[in-house]
Amino acid sequence: MAAIPEYFGSLVFDDRVMKATLSAKVYASLKKTIDEGSELDIGVANAVANAMKEWAVSKGATHYTHWFQPLTGITAEKHDSFISPSPDGGVIMEFSGKELIKGEPDASSFPSGGLRATFEARGYTAWDPTSYAFIKGKTLCIPTAFCSYGGHALDKKTPLLRSMEALNKQALRILRLFGNNTVKRVTSSVGPEQEYFLITREMYDKRPDLRFTGRTLFGAKPPKGQEMDDHYFGVIKPKVAAFMEELNEELWKLGILAKTEHNEVAPAQHELAPIYTTTNIATDHNQLTMEIMQKVAARHGLVCLLHEKPFAGVNGSGKHNNWSVSTDAGQNLLSPGETPYENAQFLLFLCAVIQAVDDYQDLLRISVATAGNDHRLGANEAPPAVVSIFLGDELNAVLEALENDTPYIGAERTQMRLGVDVLPKFNRDTTDRNRTSPFAFTGNKFEFRMLGSSNSIACANIMLNSAVAESLKQFADRLEGEKDFTAALHDLLRETIKAHKRIIFNGNGYDDSWIKEAVGKRGLLNYRTTADCMPHLLDRKNVAMLTSHGVFSEEELHSRYEIMLENYCKTIVIEANTMVDMAKTQIAPAVMSYTADVARAASAKKAFDAAIPCGYETTVVKKLSSLTDRIESSAEELENAVISLADAEDIGTKSVMIRDGVLDRMGELRLACDEAETLTAKDYWPYPTYADLLFGVK
């Protein structure tokens, strides 16, 4: 294998390739479109398309596709070949600027949430020049936005780009107030950490629940889980190391900055973290990362599980969204510097984030709401469903000094003393890490920890960008035209801190007393399930904010409400039906078969010698017979609960019926089956156990 710098980005039509293949004039025009959002000339598009095609063909590509991110949460692509007929009966390889700029996939089979009628099938894909094209297999993939014939966004990229533009517009207004007239663009950047599980393909194929739903619907606790904390950062097993090595190579070829890899807390759980990049590119890269993880795993006889809670009783998987804001000059606007108390610009942007998270905590919760993530939020590996901000002692003290208009006495940097002379001395960070916080400041960025591992990061960053843009707009509206800017800024910071300090919490988010304080005393929101939070997407304040910045239209918001709740309902119905099928057709018969054999063994003992006690056999038979009845009745109740959903008047009603009726019955059926597993001989049990799954990769 060539050295990494030689093949990194080798499958990407990036800036290096554009410089080498485009004329200076075409390159300059394209860069202006990318950097400043200027209109793309068709002549430039034709030149870019030809260069892109020649480059792709030289890399072995035969087809191209407009690669987009519909509201399914995964990516979509329709492949067209470069070939066109030539007069002599052969073919030539062609690709025009028109084909680069626009595609027309059938939109009828993608979720639209009522944005189009059934017979209105046409949809359009539009090239996003800010995200580099790349080669996957033998196909040139062109990142695109996806919209309906009527112009409504049918994807996750379009609103994301709109939210980035809204943030840019309002952040520039703030920077101008501080006398910065040279910055042309402000962008948000993201580094999404990706957690996942690896299990053997052999075990996966024997579990219908994993194949149909991505998680285990049954499974008794194994003798050993994560109690010993021996997996976290432990030695990586050879098979996993081989997977990680190939995964890195595939990602690096695509210019994806995979940086960190390690074992996570639960057995069979791992994590990959990239270096930060612009939010829309990071979103594209994360979608590719999840896809490539699964493909590479298959080549190693493994399956990569991206579900938020594939196994009960051990840590689930999240996707920590590390978010920051920077200028085109490279200045991180969330970097406090050495003296944050004196950094007025930083404090203003910090207060904008604090206000945004407080005002739109419901939108942040909605942005991570899925049936899978509902299992994870509030468990010991994830923050609670209550949104709060962790700032650390130093920033908290700074804000308190500002609020109370008192001098700030900064703490001296404490040098860490490790007690061993040969070890290096270093200063302790002024901000600790708080793994229980949903939204934690970590030096020059915020870590939004609520995302689930299978989530597209687009949704969270749409809401985050938009909410912060709204705060900045309010600040700019107030400060522009003020004669005494310094005094006005001081008053604004004080008032913002006072009004929104309820959202700041530096303690243990897992403590039950925090939830009581958050909801009871502070008035923070606690939406435990998707069914609880999703209706609030359409609250007047949320609709007003998102439409005022042009991130969504009202119609697009209504469509998202319908689609996200529909996905929630469909997911749980599939899980419920899978449980009923597994319980009735395999688990109950297996338990009855073992029960019958134990009963026959007891009878044989009695026939041999009536004096031989059969207490063990009798106890087992009684317990299993009772559990078989429970399994049968629980499965019947769950099946009837699913059937009753047909009576729901609308998707909101159906989601509440699922929350209040179906989920509890799923839990009851699982309890009965899991208890039966602990009493049934392993040879009789129809599925690989948790021990097999979690410790099967060597």
pLDDT value at 684 more than 70: yes
pLDDT in tens, 130-140: 899 999 999 99
Question: Which of 299, 236, 307 lies closest to 268, judged by CA?
Answer: 236
Rounded mean pLDDT, 357-367: 98
What is the rounded (10 degree) CA torsion for 50, 53, 56, 61? -170
463 close to 368: Cβ distance less than 8 angstroms: no
CATH number of 194-215+230-317: 3.30.590.10
Report how far Cα 659 is from the mean position of its chain's Cα atoms.
22
Beta strands 186-192 and 258-263, pairing class: unpaired
- Mean confidence (pLDDT) of the chain: 89
Short-list 94, 152, 142, CA closest to 120: 152
The domain over range 4-155 is classified in CATH as 3.40.605.10: no
Residue 116 scores a pLDDT above 60? no
pLDDT tens digits along 487-538: 999 999 999 999 999 999 999 888 889 999 999 999 999 999 999 999 999 9
Give the number of C-alpha atoms closer than 13 A to the C-alpha of residue 255, restricted to the C-beta side.
20
Given CA atoms 114, 119, 120, 121 in this order, what sign does their dihedral have? positive
39 vs 468 pLDDT, higher one: 468
Give the count of beta carbons closer than 10 Å to the beta carbon of residue 470: 25
Least confident of 168-172, 268-272, 394-398, 677-681: 394-398
| Inter-residue contact 471 to 545 (CB < 8 Å) | no
Residue 602 pLDDT exceeds 90: no
Please give the pLDDT value at position 426.
35
pLDDT in tens, 118-130: 555 567 888 899 8
Helix (H, G, I), strand (E, B) or coil at 264: coil
- Cα distances from 272 to residues 197, 233, 251, 267, 290, in angstroms, run 11, 12, 11, 16, 10
- The answer to whether 472 and 170 are in contact (CB under 8 A) is yes
| DSSP H or E segment with residue 188 | strand 186-192
Backbone phi and psi for residue 215, each to the nearest 5 degrees, phi listed first: -140, 160
Does the pLDDT value for residue 417 go beyond 70? no
Rounded CA gap, 289 and 75, in Å? Answer: 12
At residue 581, the pLDDT reads 98
Q: Which of 149, 150, 132 is nearest to 141 (CA)?
A: 132
Record the tokens describing residue 66, joined without a space.
Answer: 């407009």
SS3 92: strand
3-state SS assignment for residue 221: coil
Q: Which of 378, 357, 386, 392 is nearest to 518 (CA)?
A: 386
CA–CA separation, 468 vs 167, rounded Å?
A: 7
Token digits of residue 225:
């889980």
Q: What is the pLDDT of residue 295?
A: 97
pLDDT of residue 106: 64
pLDDT score for 72: 85
Q: Are 383 and 437 in contact (CB under 8 A)?
A: yes
What is the average per-residue pLDDT within 105-120? 63
Q: Which amino acid is at 14?
A: D
Return the closest-CA partner of residue 53 out of 82, 76, 74.
82
Does 4 or 167 have the greater pLDDT score? 167
Domain boundaries, the chain: 4-155, 156-192+330-412+426-552, 194-215+230-317, 568-694
Is residue 143 within a helix (H) or strand (E), and if so which, with residue range?
A: strand 139-148
What is the reported pLDDT for 231? 82
Cβ partners under 8 Å of residue 341, min gap 6? 347, 398, 401, 402, 408, 410
Give Cβ neighbours of residue 20 (< 8 Å, ≥ 6 apart). Answer: none
What does the buried/exposed string (b/e) look like for 559-577 if buried means 16 or more CB atoms within 10 Å of the residue's CB? bbbbbbbbbbbebbbebbe
Confidence of residue 110 (pLDDT cuts 50, 70, 90): confident
Supply the angle between the helices 344-359 and 393-404 in degrees, to the nearest 10: 90
Which percentage of the chain shows pLDDT scores above 70?
90
pLDDT value at residue 398:
86
Residue 35 has pLDDT above 70, yes or no: yes
How far apart are the C-alpha atoms of 676 and 685, rounded to whole Å?
9
Alpha carbon dihedral 575, 581, 587, 592, in 10-degree steps, equals: 150
pLDDT grade, residue 472 (50/70/90)? Answer: very high
Q: For 550-588, how does the pLDDT look when each residue is reduced to its tens digit (9 = 90+)?
A: 999 999 999 999 999 999 999 999 999 999 999 999 999
Separation of alpha carbons 171 and 325, rounded Å: 9
Say whether 142 sits in a helix, a strand or coil. strand
**Least confident window among 57-66, 295-304, 340-349, 565-574:** 340-349
pLDDT digits (tens, 9 = 90+) for 606-646: 666 666 666 777 888 899 999 999 999 999 999 999 999 99
According to DSSP, the β-strands at 446-448 and 439-441 are antiparallel
Helix (H, G, I), strand (E, B), or coil: what is residue 274? strand
For residue 233, the SS3 value is coil
R_g of the chain computed on alpha carbons = 28
What are the beta bridge partners of residue 322? 191, 447
The dihedral through the CA atoms of 420, 424, 428, 433 has a sign that is negative
pLDDT on residue 418:
37
* Distances, alpha carbon 464 to alpha carbons 202, 323, 636, in Å: 41, 9, 44
Residue 301 zone, left/alpha/beta (φ > 0; ψ -120 to 50; rest): left
Counted residue by residue, the chain has a size of 698
425-439 residue pLDDT tens: 434 445 556 678 899
How many CB atoms are closer than 10 A to CB 79?
A: 14
How high is the pLDDT of residue 38? 74
Residue-wise burial string across 497-536, b where 16 or more C-beta atoms lie within 10 A, e elsewhere: beebbebbbbeebeeeebbebbeeebebbbbebbbbbbbb
- Cβ-proximal residues to 331 (8 Å cutoff; 6+ apart), any chain: 183
For residue 33, pLDDT beyond 70: yes
DSSP 113: T
Query: For position 32, what pLDDT does the model report?
Result: 87
What band does 424 get if pLDDT is binned at 50, 70 and 90?
Answer: very low
What's the pLDDT score for residue 80? 87
How many angstroms separate the Cα of 501 from the Cα of each of 87, 393, 452, 512, 618?
73, 14, 27, 20, 63
- pTM (2 d.p.): 0.92
Neighbours of 125 (CB within 10 A): 27
Q: How far is CA 35 from CA 184, 334, 469, in A?
A: 9, 22, 20
Which H or E run includes 351?
helix 344-359
Mean of the pLDDT values across residues 44-49? 90
Percent helix, strand, coil in the chain (nearest 5)?
Answer: 50, 15, 35
Q: Which residues of 32-51 are buried (b: 16+ CB within 10 A; e: fewer)?
A: ebbeeeeebeeebbbbbbbb
pLDDT (average), residues 358-380: 93
Whether the per-residue pLDDT at 419 is higher than 70: the answer is no
Contacts of 535 (CB under 8 A, 6+ apart): 561, 652
Instruction: Please name the helix (run of DSSP H) or strand (run of DSSP E) that holds residue 58, with its range, or none.
Output: helix 42-58
Number of C-beta neighbours around residue 114 at 10 A: 13
Rounded to whole angstroms, the Cα distance separating 559 from 12 reads 34
Which fold would CATH assign to domain 568-694? Four Helix Bundle (Hemerythrin (Met), subunit A) (1.20.120)
Helices (H) and strands (E) in the chain, counts: 25, 21
